[in-house]
Amino acid sequence: MWDQLLDSPVFGIGVTIIGFALATVFARAVKNAAWANPILWASAGIVSLLLVTRVDYAQYMAGGQYFVPLLGLAVVSLAAPPFRHRKALRSSSAAVLFAVGIGSAAGVGMTIFLAWIFGGSRDTILSVAPKQATSPVAFDVANLAGGSGELAAVLAILTGMLGATLGPAALNLFRFTDARERGLAIGVSAHAIGTARIVTREPVAGAFAVVGMVVAAVYVTVLVPAALWVISFL
The pLDDT of residue 99:
92
Among candidate residues 207, 166, 204, 163, the one with its CA nearest the CA of residue 186: 163
Q: What are the C-alpha distances in Å from 167 to residues 88, 149, 194?
A: 23, 25, 8
The pLDDT of residue 5:
61
The pLDDT of residue 207:
92
Rounded to a whole number of angstroms, the CA Rg of the chain reads 18
The pLDDT of residue 4:
63
Q: State the greatest distance between any 2 C-alpha atoms of the chain, in Å, as a whole number.
A: 61
On whether the CB atoms of residues 114 and 142 are closer than 8 A, the answer is: no
Residues in the chain predicted with pLDDT less than 70, given as ranges, are 1-7, 68, 71-72, 74-75, 232-234
Its sign, for the CA torsion 9, 11, 12, 15, is positive
Domain range for 202: 2-231
The pLDDT of residue 153:
85
Instruction: Please tell me whether residue 1 adopts helix, strand or coil conformation.
Output: coil
- Give how far the C-alpha of residue 90 lies from the chain's centroid of Cα atoms, to the nearest Å: 25
Amino acid at 134: T
How many whole angstroms separate alpha carbon 189 and alpha carbon 104? Answer: 9
Q: What is the DSSP letter of 14?
A: H
The pLDDT of residue 98:
94
Q: How many domains does the chain have?
A: 1
Cβ-count burial 157-196 (b if 16+ within 10 Å, e if not)? bebbbbbbbbbbeebeeeebeebbebbbbbbbbbbbbbbb
The pLDDT of residue 1:
53
